[in-house]
Amino acid sequence: MTALTLSTAAASGLRADAIVVGVAKGAKGPVVAPGAEAVDKAYDGALAGILETLGASGGEGEVTKLPAPTGFKAPVVVAVGLGAVPEKDDTFSAEALRRAAGAAARALAGAKKAVFALPITDAADAGVLAEGAALGAYAFDAYKENGKDAKNAKAPLAEVTLLGGKPRDAAYKAALARAIAVTEELNRARDLINTPPNDLYPEAFAAVATAAGKEHGIKVQVLDEKALQKGGFGGILGVGAGSAAAPRLVKLSYTSSKATKHLAFVGKGITYDSGGISLKPAGHNETMKCDMSGAAAVFAAVVAAARLGLEVNVTGWLALAENMPSGSATRPGDVLRMYSGKTVEVLNTDAEGRLVLADALWKASEEKPDAIIDVATLTGAMVLALGNRTFGVMANDDAFRTAIVEAAEEVGEESWPMPLPEHLRKGMDSPTADIANMGERMGGGLVAGLFLKEFVGEGITWAHLDIAGPAFNESGPFGYTPKGGTGSAVRTLVRLAELTAAGDLG
């Protein structure tokens, strides 16, 4: 993990591998951003012109390297694009700062230390820059020879010092501590998502959760296959029936003595999804280790809440199973009796996420939390609707749905409110069971949401986050987002816990 520190020292006197400055896109060319005044002065005020000569425009994520001016202990200046110059009397958005810091950190892979002279007007800016740097520097190399990429052999940027951050100021120290806690747990979620399924199966994921619980004072309860059978968790057992790796339901409980509210987070944790008997075709199953991204997000959010000492009770439920075809696998046409007692006709074994979530949602409902939020890589239909960077938000309460979308926007995650049209429910009517796990093809993401709604306890506020698009980035890295597991929804869940603790949610 990249070490993060604050400093008010002069940029010229700090020993580092590089000084990072911001550059914005102005009407007549690049403009040096606040925070880099001393660096610009060392270039006799010509830094913007030099960058323009080198082809820089200030566009978002653009990175330009040049020799540092005489007198600087760092040999290189790295100019990172912040996007358009803000309107008069306005400042750069938190997300612009976060993405710029991430792009710079990734460009400096292999360096030991970098000094970031980027715009900081208050403690909040320091926090988002720290987040961007820590997330942008992330790399997953656990399976590379000697822990490194044999081709590039570059370790992540080891240390970042944020200039303009006041190291003795309480607000700045709190912002940095929050950024460290959230990004360390988010990066742990990324590690879990990127881990191959032969090493991360339900029992192994449960062991990771148990170890984290001991470290951070979180109570962890693991229901193994015998306990699931005894409890009647037909959905989780049905999905895991075809695999040699038995399913698990993991409960993580963080409690605060000062809490007056209780949130429940429920995560889909399919550690590998072959589709089961309804087998996925070639080209659609190679990245299905990421189908536990929802459970990873829930796990990370609960641990982050504990590390931050939030005054809210947070329970995380990880519904873990591996969906495989075999002679013992659930077949299309089988009927499962769920933990709620409701029966489900399985028309497609590749619509398995909703089955494990249904059991976990009903179990979570028994504790009567103030709200339940489930997170899942649930449907390809949501990816078709919203693309690869935006998750859909459905809820049984419009105000709650709006609050989640606003919280996501606040922390830099793209989301979009989606409806739950009641007329789509009829498509899941079954002649054999209480409900089928499939309905109309058009609007499939909404159909899945309506299915989950059936398993939420009466009177409980609930929301569903379908992160199928942004959970796993198959294209190139951008901003602070790497290729592979992204940790989608972690920051949104943590922010919702913070808002609840402050009495600003529900």
CA atoms within 13 A on the CB side of 336: 31
Helix, strand, coil percent content, the chain, rounded in steps of 5 = 35, 20, 40
Phi and psi of 15, rounded to 5°?
Answer: -80, 125
* Cα–Cα nearest to 144, from 98, 215, 193, 196: 196
Collapsed DSSP state (helix, strand, coil) of residue 333 = coil
112 CB neighbour count, 10 Å cutoff: 12
**How far apart are the C-alpha atoms of 129 and 136, rounded to whole Å?**
10
Catalytic residues: 280, 354
Cα pseudo-dihedral 439, 444, 450, 452, rounded to 10:
100
436: left (phi over 0), alpha (psi -120 to 50) or beta: beta
Q: At residue 480, what is the residue type?
A: Y
419 CB neighbour count, 10 Å cutoff: 15
Question: 282 Cβ partners below 8 Å, 6+ apart?
Answer: none
End-to-end Cα distance, the chain: 35
Collapsed DSSP state (helix, strand, coil) of residue 129 = helix
Q: In the 3-class helix/strand/coil scheme, how is 214-241 assigned residue by residue?
A: HHHCCEEEEECHHHHHHHCCHHHHHHHC
Q: At residue 209, what is the residue type?
A: A
Question: 30 Cβ partners below 8 Å, 6+ apart?
Answer: 23, 24, 48, 51, 52, 56, 57, 58
**How far apart are the C-alpha atoms of 450 and 492, rounded to whole Å?**
22
Q: In the 3-class helix/strand/coil scheme, how is 74-96 assigned residue by residue?
A: CCEEEEEEEEECCCCCCCCCHHH
Query: Are the C-beta atoms of residues 220 and 250 closer than 8 Å to each other?
Result: yes
Alpha carbon 299 to its chain centroid, in Å, reads 11
* Cα–Cα nearest to 19, from 60, 65, 61: 65
Question: 473 Cβ partners below 8 Å, 6+ apart?
Answer: 388, 481, 482, 483, 484, 485, 486
